[in-house]
Amino acid sequence: MTSAYSDILARIEAALAASRTVFSRFTPGAIETEYKIGHDPVTEADRALDAVLRQNLLRDDEGWLSEESVDDPIRLQRSRVWVVDPLDGTREFVKGIPEFCVSIGFVENGRPMAGGIYNPATDETFLGAIDCGVTYNGKPSHPSQRTSLEGALILASRSEVKRGEWKAFENSSVVIRPMGSVAYKLALVSAGLADVTFTLTPKNEWDVVAGAALVQSAGGFVSTLEKTDLTANRRDPLLSGLLACGPFLKNSLLALVEPHIGLAQQAR
């Protein structure tokens, strides 16, 4: 993979390899769980992965934003920043559902430029940068080339579906598949293993930056709910939501979700 980000990609690969070793110490579905304020689960695996990612990725002149680290505002002064979720899909990990992953995003001047996502349960690795495309398990991959949403596979948040947030889309012509881990869903879209994923629910940068980098690196479409490009390393890392799809579904996806964005935001 020839890229101006070869060093970054090498570091991501090393970090993902190190995460495999960490995961080997834990059994999904049989791990002690604590709960943060807001009832989000956290495990010893989350913390161990955060430490090993930091060790393999971070250099002195770079910033760090991780779900499992205390936010250091010095990142706002850095042009190159790592945005990571050591274990996206902790709920699935705790329940033994194979929909969780390590999510590593690299941001330069506010733009997601490279990413790596690894699902240890399925042994899938997604790696890419904006100037060289994406590989899926070491082989070049491409996003969906579908031109119509008719029959398209849309990956939905399992928790959002349970809360009834996808009822508005159930009678449309698409196929909706509930799944954990927004990062993993974005990775699957980047490799053309699904056509679309979106969330009208707020997500933090660490949830989506790596996956967004992969979708964009593959040539797919990514947008905020405000129809703007995703920018990262902001003071407040919370996003209103995110849309992602293959390159030819952009207009159809926007048309599908636009009537529901305002309603979703009012409901919150």
DSSP-assigned states of every residue in 81-105: EEEEEEEETHHHHHHT-S--EEEEE
199 and 76 assigned to the same domain:
no
- Shared-domain flag, residues 14 and 125: yes
Give pLDDT tens digits along the chain (268 positions): 578 999 999 999 999 999 999 999 887 876 666 666 555 666 788 889 999 999 999 999 999 999 999 999 999 999 999 999 999 998 899 899 999 999 999 999 999 999 999 999 999 999 999 999 999 999 999 999 999 999 999 999 999 999 999 999 987 899 999 999 999 999 999 999 999 999 999 999 999 999 999 999 999 999 999 999 999 999 999 999 999 999 999 999 999 999 988 765 555 5
Shared-domain flag, residues 131 and 158: no
The CATH code of the domain that includes 207 is 3.40.190.80
Q: Which residues make Cβ contacts (< 8 Å) with residue 13, sequence separation at least 6?
A: 116, 127
Geometric angle at alpha carbon 247, from 160 and 159, rounded to 5°: 5
Q: Which of 140, 173, 188 is the C-terminal boundary of a domain?
A: 140
Identify the CA nearest to 155 among candidates 221, 199, 120.
199
Domain of 122, CATH number, reads 3.30.540.10
pTM of full prediction above 0.85: yes
Within this chain, do residues 263 and 158 fall inside the same structural domain, yes or no? yes
Is there a domain that residue 89 lies in? yes
Domain range for 228 is 153-267
- Give a yes or no: residue 23 inside a domain: yes
Structural domains in the chain (count): 2
